[in-house]
Amino acid sequence: MSAQADRRYLGGALALIAGFMAVEVVIGLIAQSLALISDAGHMLTDAMAIVLALVAMRIAARPPEGGFTYGLKRAEIVSAQVNGITLLLLAAYFSFEGIRRLIEPPQVEGLFVMATGLAGIAVNLAATWLLSKANRSSLNVEGAFQHILNDLYAFVATTVAGLVIWLTGWAQADAIAALVVAVLMLKAGWGLVRDAGRVFMEAAPADINPAEIGRQIAALDTVVEVHDLHIWEVTSGYAALSAHILVSPGADCHAARLAVEALLHGRHGIEHTTVQVDHAAPNSHAFDEDGALRRIVRHCADPHGPTHHGRRFETAANGDDHADH
């Protein structure tokens, strides 16, 4: 799906949200409903989230230049992080206000609340449908989607609260609806902050196990050792990998590199790779009679991360040491 199509979906959702938000603020003030005002506040952050997502998409599309060798792709991750933090702050505020109103409930116009909630459900269903058609594998788009989806949940809770108040006069239902919304905001916000934080901290993608990939590379023919294995995400769906691989003396370094790249692309979908392949020095890896590795002469003075050892190789083989980048 093209970025242009994503921008159209986000723009359509923004128009719906901004128009209804203005109406809801007015009705919320008239009805003295915290649930409606909290919904309107959430819709304001929805609109801001969509605007931020649109800006981030344009920035991320800029080509690499100068010191930004990856371009500005992580602008989308910044957007997702901001959206997540905003949800957490809103959750804290509405939790405080909801508890206060449970203790001292104001007079709430239940019929206004229910009618506005029903209209909000219709608007948010349309906005949610638009955003669901965009590329949600992007944390940036997912951040905007979570804002809209939580607002839909909020309107459902608000409608129920309005119905309860209208039929029974129990004003605390409004505060309970606001607390339900706060819990949903907390869950969505934490998920966005956590996932964006993994990207910022150079963690491997959540669906990729670096240890398993290290073992798979080490199991390839002629591979003796894998170290300095690093896997990270540049931005959502853009994984990158670098590794230092030692092969048996006399083995074809180019063939080994191609085999590694085929493994990474075919099994794990990793296309951006930087693989250094060297020959292991003769007698650098000593084995016992059962084939178990018992002594290693380090190729690098300070290898980073765990080291994965491959198959036993013939130490008598010729080993002119060279590198293939």
Q: Per residue in 224-248, pLDDT tens?
A: 889 999 999 998 888 999 999 999 8
What confidence tens digit (pLDDT) does each residue in 16-70 have?
A: 888 888 887 787 777 777 666 766 776 777 788 888 888 888 888 888 888 888 8
Residue ranges per structural domain of the chain: 3-200, 210-324
Higher pLDDT, 177 or 197: 197
What confidence tens digit (pLDDT) does each residue in 204-222 have?
A: 998 999 999 999 999 998 8
Give the H/E segment covering residue 113. helix 110-132
Both tokens of 72, joined, read 């500005």
Q: What is the pLDDT of residue 299?
A: 60
Does position 312 have pLDDT exceeding 80, yes or no?
A: no
The answer to whether residues 275 and 282 touch, using CB atoms and an 8 Å cutoff, is no
- Please give the single-letter amino acid code of residue 168: T
Classify residue 9 by burial, with Cβ atoms within 10 Å: 0-12, 13-18, 19+: buried
Which of helix, strand or coil describes residue 191? Answer: helix
**CA 82 to each of CA 21, 86, 106, 146, 147: distance values in angstroms, whole numbers, following the listed order:** 21, 6, 33, 13, 12
| CATH class as words, domain 3-200 | mainly alpha
Does position 178 have pLDDT exceeding 90, yes or no?
A: no
**Spatial distance between the Cα atoms of 225 and 299, rounded to a whole number of angstroms:** 10
* Same-fold call for 3-200 versus 210-324: no
Dihedral (Cα; 296, 301, 304, 310), 10-degree rounding: -30
Does position 273 have pLDDT exceeding 80, yes or no?
A: yes
Which neighbouring-strand residues pair with 242? 230, 274
Average pLDDT over residues 189-198: 91
Does position 157 have pLDDT exceeding 50, yes or no?
A: yes
* 273-309 exposure pattern, b = at least 16 Cβ within 10 A, e = fewer: bebebbbbebebbeeeeeeeeeeeeebeeeeeeebbb
CATH of domain 210-324: 3.30.70
What angle, rounded to 10 degrees, do the helices at 110-132 and 139-168 form?
Answer: 160
The answer to whether residues 185 and 149 touch, using CB atoms and an 8 Å cutoff, is no
